[in-house]
A and B are shown apart, each in its own frame.
Chain A
Amino acid sequence: MKKYLAFIPFFLFVVTVHLLTSWTDTLYYLTQMTMSAYYCLLIIGLCVVMGYAGQISLGHAGFFAIGGYISAALTTSNLIEYRDLPLVRLLDSMGMLMTGQDIYGDTLIVITPWMACLAAVILAILLAYLIGIPALKLKGHYLAMATLGFGIIIYRIVLATPYFGEADGIAEVPAFVLFGDISVSGDFSSRVSNYYIAWILLTLGMVLLINLIDSRVGRALRAIHGAEDAADSMGVDTTAYKLNVFVLSAVFAALAGVFMTHYNGSIGPSEAGVMKSVRYVAIVAVGGMAHLWGALIMGITLNFLSLRGVFGTYDDAVFGVILIFIMLFAPNGLLRINFRHVATQLLFFRRAGKKEA
């Protein structure tokens, strides 16, 4: 039960933020908190890949974009012209279609968000296997470049394909009705409920991952990170573990993309950009690599500040500086920083004598 203790302050924080903002009449902060929570869903998934399995991925914005774009494209492309096609009829008879109206009042027939979400996740899983099976055989620089390449290809595709709206992205994405009256949407009236939806999803993700790393899988992953060859010779199927964790994190990223897109009502190519992937890596690094709560805390803090525009035009630069400084002075994360050690390093430019993590 000890591992769940950290959820108590977590829930207190979530409720406190809501109460504070409603008392001080600053509920608009909840919008950024909601978005930060969705980004964090991706970040905690990446944290397991980087921190526990020890594999770098510079392509997670790509999976986020797959989730967001597939969901947005399917729930906005009008099938009314094709309604007599057998495939569309089949989808309709299975309850996978819904009707709506566009801004001009014309009738739309689109795929329901649930189905679009399912399609997005399935595509993310397929692509994660496709890219993961060969890529995870690579190490270090090669893996970094391969995942970076994957991210750029996704970015180039969404930027150059008319179906995905090219540079404009996709707007007018409908609300995602979860059940009853509860739906993921950017509607002002449902800001509070959306805030809780996002944080409940994040909590579910955390519970899943905390249990995962506390299990046989987690121990195997730590063994892989510590010494892959040793783990291999002890009978740990290193390839399968690395691959499955990578795919799981891709699913987290795709889901984050789906929910974020329905929440914002739109998605643009910048979500697939290389800088986004680098930013996620930076946040995991600041959080301490193998530290889910650290990644969560830093993810919320930095994304919230960034979304509030605190960093201004230096947004990307801030994350670059964070990357460099964390990796130079605190490779184990900001929360485990050894200030005396850093001070001596900075003052005398001593060489970092401690063993690498």
Chain B
Amino acid sequence: MTAELFIQYIFAGITYGAIYAIVAIGFNIIYNTTGIINFAQGEFVMLGGMISISLLEYMALPLAIVAAVLITMVIGALIEVVFIRWLERPSVLRMIIITIGISILIREVALHIWGESVRSLPYFIGDEITSVAILGARISPQVFWVLGTCTVMVLLLGLFFQATSIGREMRACAANRTAAILCGIDTKNMVTFSFVLSAALGALAGCVMSPITYSQYNIGTGLAIKGFTVAILGGLGSSGGAIIAGLLLGIIEAFSVSVLPLSFQEAVSIAILLLILFIRPHGLFGSKDAAGLKDF
């Protein structure tokens, strides 16, 4: 493998890896406040991309993206209020099935609105063939948009959880729900916030990745599984772990193409998921004892 090709693969890997990390962080936010895995997480990414593409007819690109993110946030809030808020202590099995149902519903609605066609947003700068040369490899500027946006999102998220009162209340809710209620925190609202927040993250990721990866009504399931793989690999609930694990999975996946046919790419990342689940269900960085206490 030449050095150029190697760098090309690395960049492809970290681009996808950044997206997986964002999906994984979306999982973590909801998992931390509710203890459930939202199987519809990948649909937020799909909705962000699809809505912004549709809105592009009526407004400029930045506006369309902002509007798409806002609409997806509203959808995230609606999902929580309509389907989840009023259930009292639902079993894990019940929550899994409900969120799977929600993801099917969103996907089918998307299919009826947008059809099966593959769409994409235009490149933010230049077009498909614009590229920047790095050590001999040719990288699309959109890759930097993806990486930049993901970095900014992660930094802002960290700031949000550390510095704002809502962020601190959400962390309190994650640490100990009963204690948070006793401190006067409205934990139900925190759950809604967590859905809104992870919808926003997913939608924005869906917008910036759209020019490179394209958007279609059914991309959600694959993203959700890979995002989940990353969330587990990095230790469920840990954002820092998710970023490292995301980049790792993205790079492995990118290099798997040089060994196996492209059509097996998804099978590779899922096989990794199964291996992790079977060997280290607490993740690469998590503690086994802490994981044993969690109620999956």
Contact = CB atoms under 8 A, between A and B. Distances in A.
A160 B108 contact: no
Interface residues on A, range: 35 or more
A314 interface: yes
A156 B264 contact: yes
Interface string B237-272: 000000000000000000000000101101100110
A327 B101 contact: yes
For B83, B90, B277, the residue with the greatest tally of chain A CB atoms inside 10 Å of its CB is B277
A191 to B, nearest CB: 33
A263 interface: no
Interface in A147-162: 148-150, 152-153, 156-157, 159-160
Interface in A256-294: 274-275, 278, 281-282, 285
A317 B263 CA distance: 27
Interface string A228-271: 00000000000000000000000000000000000000000000
Interface stretch (A173-181, A193-201, A301-309, A349-357): A349-357
B88 A352 contact: yes
A150 B88 CA distance: 32
Interface stretch (A14-22, A135-143, A182-190, A203-211): A135-143
Contacts of B266: 152, 156
B263 A150 contact: no
Contacts of A157: 264, 267
A172 interface: no
B97 to A, nearest CB: 5
B77 interface: no
B10 interface: no
Contacts of A282: 101
Interface string A289-331: 0000000000000000000000001101101111110011001
Contact of A356 (B86, B89, B103): B89
Interface residues of B, number: 44
Interface in B100-132: 100-105, 107-109, 112
A118 B43 CA distance: 41
A278 B100 contact: yes
Contacts of B261: 160
Interface in B31-46: 36-37, 39
Given A54-B93, A139-B92, A149-B277, 19 more contacts: A56-B96, A135-B274, A135-B277, A138-B296, A140-B295, A141-B92, A146-B274, A146-B277, A148-B225, A153-B271, A159-B263, A274-B221, A278-B100, A316-B107, A316-B108, A320-B108, A323-B100, A323-B104, A324-B83
